[in-house]
Structure 1
Amino acid sequence: MSAGRPARWTQRHLDLLVDAAATTAPVIDPAAMPRILPDHDLWDLWPVQEEDGSTCAISGQELWMALSAPVLGHPEERHDQARIRLLAKDGGSWTDLGHAFADGASPGSREWSGSAVRRPDDTVSVFYTAAGRRGETPPTFRQRVVEARPALVADGRRILLDPGAEHREILRSDGRMYLPAEEIIGMPGRIRAFRDPGWFRDPADGRDYLLIAASVAEDDRFSGAIALAGTRDGAWSLLPPLVVAEGVNHELERPHIIVHQSRYHLFFSTQRHSFHPADSAPTGLYGFAAPSLTGPYEPLNGSGLVLQNPRTEPDQAYAWLVLPDLHVVSFANYRSHPGLDLRSAGAAQARAGFGGTIAPTLKLALNGMTTSVIPAGT
């Protein structure tokens, strides 16, 4: 594989952004998203995949993972307690299968987003972000990519992961192509990134890759980027970035690729407060497309915007993930409160407006470099 030059996402592209029905999600009815875990928040959902990209199913149940934390205090504090949870999905019904890993198994003080793939030997490669260090107080924001490969244990409809699996650090930012994500203090949305490993097998060469939300230095400005890593003989190595947000955005989160009609569609999520200047573009799912894994990538719909929250509910959902069948999953974030950003509101008020569960599923239509949201029921 020969690495190409990264695509530059610039203000020129964002100037093409339009507020259109084709790229706007419908307003979510709170009644359409009951809490799956009454005592825990859920966010950042992803399926356990088969190596062909499809969702793993056992005894008729799909296997999924999500981040979880107890419903305590301000919703923004959930990131300091995040654990990966295993879930089963049977039609429209979800079943909690508990924490994916044993207490203290992770080398971090908490577990942030990632991806998972079932291997032919019935183990599951779980790639995730180890945030901080085990046992630290208070939590820091060091980030590195870890792989655990537990055996999948299924006894009828009871499914779990072997708790004795080793957790092995496989990647961290190198300080050259990617800025080190080693900050001691900070807060989500304001820290450097080296997280959210998204597994992808390239049909062109059959090799495994990881896409990672990263940070690079550009003209003395910090810019969000999507890093690429490849594996050979079991060892992972960093490759040049696929996309760099040149001075316009701080975080390109949860990157992932869907190959559709021989085109590589690279998707990521970002929030309105991560743009420079803040609120210059909406919270949404953004994307680029290319004829091969390494490019050249061009922004979808001219601007990169694929799916935004409606103007009346600018924070209703986040962390979108596009599946191979073009269905899109996300989690319910904050309902709108006139004149107030609930992320900075008091704990009780923020908690009252926070979803903390899985949002209704959407679906995309892809037509070359153009995308649109398919209306419900069609």
Structure 2
Amino acid sequence: MTDDSGGRGRISRNTPAWTREHAARLARTDDTVAPIIYPPESPIDPELHLWDTWLLRDRDGSVAEIDGYRVILALTSTSALLPGKRHDVATIRYSYSADGKNWHTGGPVFKNDAGEIEGDRPFGSRQWAGSALYDDGTVYAYYTASGQRDEAELSYTQRLAVGHGGTVHTDSEGLSIEGPWTHEIITGPDGDRYETEAQSRGMIYTFRDPWFFEDETGTYLVFEANTPVPEGSAACGGDQAQQEFNGSVGIAESPTGDPTDFGLREPLLDAVCVNQELERPHIVVRDGTYYLFISSHMHTFAPGIEGYDALYGFAADSLFGEYEPLNDSGLVVTNPANAPFQAYSWLVYDHGDELLVNSFFNYYDFDRPSLDDVALLPEPEQRRRFGGTPAPTVRIGVDGRRTRVLGVLDHGHLLLPHEPLPSSPFDGRGDRDGRGSYHST
């Protein structure tokens, strides 16, 4: 594998690249900074930490509405756990709502008839993020199988997996998702297009976050991965430290449209020399333009680049097109400078004239320069400052390759396409500058 970009980090096969030149333009602006977040009156479930969330969607990508209910899935753990430990025991649970504002937790997605978490899951010691498809009455729950089952020590092996066969039931009491489930590993890294754990030289290894997507060209899974960069490569001008930051957005295609059968294809985007983690990639199509969104952290940018915990985006004229960063740098939504870690894991979906963006309420009342500094706080303070529930939904205006923050809705507000947006430019609690009220730009 060779470098074909004069040291900018673009690895062979002409994969579109997020370059250091693009990332050098990253800067907070009124168009990209979300308002300050304050705690909601009550979280979805005070007994749970809830973070990465995703929607149950129909095959065309629209939000599924089942007998008047909409459904979200999320990574969860008990709220008695220190927030920093939650990834080690993550379990996928679902919640449902009739109005998109008031949510009811429904329990673990994968459970047996007794309501217990399934004991026969063959893959992984815990579950990380994915997506969910509702197709002809059947639920396909895609997830990251992390670690090995029954491992004595946590490992970070990652494979794309799916549980299928689930069904949705509704009655006067609400909604439930029931098994039985069949679990399958869809794919793992091939070591050529996508780095294996053994090949990894970086700070964090990634092969995760399967996101179902279908258009007229085919049926796909989009996912987060890393591009293999051999030692001695000319990428990044030969800078070995920068080469360790080699995130990519991968894609697999179903040859038949079967939502359980996929084969790897070339990556959609790489960020070699720029960023290690292009998390939770997903695609929104508007007016013939493909918008590719990812989340990433301040600390996963390569040396010499100052980035943020933020939603980043790219646009192309086709699914396998030449993706260009939105707003010249890729930055779409970030947290205020005085609350740099208040939200994370953004998920974008279309709502007519605007895009709506869900995320989770992360650490608030915390402005230290590194998220690692959370561990320096007393344990009660670590728990107090972790939101662990959905953040306010951000409204985004789109004009070609430019975007703009327009305002916010309530915490976790999930609107269906036929439901109108509020008339106020900022609807909810919070502000851009900490003064206690919204300020339109």
Structure number with higher strand proportion: 1
Alpha-carbon contact 1:212-1:227 (below 8 Å) kept: yes
Aligned counterparts of 1:298 and 1:33: Cα–Cα separation in 2? 40
Q: Deviations over 1:292-316 (max 9, x none)?
A: 0001111000000011111110000
Q: TM-score, normalised by structure 1?
A: 0.92
Query: Could you say which residue in structure 1 is the equivalent of 2:20?
Result: 11
Contact 2:312 2:333 in 1 (8 A): yes
% identity of equivalent residues:
36
1:355 to 352, 375, 387: 387
Is 1:41 paired with 2:49?
yes
> Could you list the runs of 4 or more consecutive aligned residues of structure 1 that deviate by over 6 angstroms after TM superposition?
none
Secondary structure in 2 matching 1:349 = helix
What TM-score results when the alignment is normalised by the length of structure 2? 0.79
Q: Spell out the pairing of 1:48-127 with structure 2 (5 A cutoff).
A: 48-91=56-99, 92-102=101-111, 103=117, 104-106=119-121, 107-120=123-136, 122-127=137-142
Hey, what's the Cα distance between the residues in 1 that align with 2:305 and 2:45? 32
How far did 1:183 drift? 9.6
2:185 paired with 1:191: no
Q: Does 1:308 align with 2:334?
A: yes
Q: Residue type matched to 2:48 in 1?
A: H
Match of 2:221 in 1: 210
Q: Please list, as runs of the form range in 1=range in 2, the aligned pairs for 1:1-378 lying within 5 A after superposition.
A: 5-30=14-39, 32=40, 34-91=42-99, 92-102=101-111, 103=117, 104-106=119-121, 107-120=123-136, 122-157=137-172, 158-181=174-197, 190-203=203-216, 205=217, 207-218=218-229, 219=233, 221-222=243-244, 223-233=246-256, 234=258, 235-277=261-303, 280-325=306-351, 326-339=355-368, 341=371, 342-346=373-377, 347-376=379-408, 377-378=424-425
* Separation (CA, whole Å) in 2 of partners of 1:144 and 1:331: 24
Count how many residue pairs are aligned between Structure 1 and Structure 2.
369
Q: 1:298 to 1:272 in 2, by over 3 A?
A: same
**358-367 or 105-114: which moved more?**
105-114
1:21-57 CA-partner distances (Å, limit 9, x unpaired): 1111011122x36311111100111000011211111
CA distance in 2, matches of 1:246, 1:22: 27
Deviation string for 1:166-209 (max 9, x for gaps)?
Answer: 1000111111111113699x9xx942100001111123x2x211
Which residue identity lines up with residue 326 of structure 2 in the other structure? L
**Amino acid aligned to 1:117:** L
- Over 3 Å counting, the alpha-carbon distance change for 1:330 and 1:105 in structure 2 is farther
Change (3 A) 1:261 1:313: same
Q: What SS class does the counterpart of residue 130 from structure 2 fall into?
A: strand
Shift of 1:375: 2.4
Larger Rg belongs to: 2
Q: Distance in 2 between matches of 1:84 and 1:278?
A: 37
Q: Which runs of 5+ in 2 are unaligned?
A: 1-12, 112-116, 234-239, 409-423, 426-441
Distance in 2 separating the partners of 1:370 and 1:301: 5
Letter in 2 for 1:350: Q
The DSSP-based 3-state class of the residue aligned with 1:249 is: coil
Hey, what's the Cα distance between the residues in 2 that align with 1:47 and 1:85?
12
One-letter code aligned to 1:35: P
Partner Cα separation in structure 1 for residue 211 and residue 155 of structure 2? 23
Deviation at 1:15, TM superposition (A): 1.6
Structure 1 residues 156, 282: CA separation in 2 closer, same or farther (over 3 Å shift)?
same
Deviates more, 1:343-352 or 1:317-326: 343-352
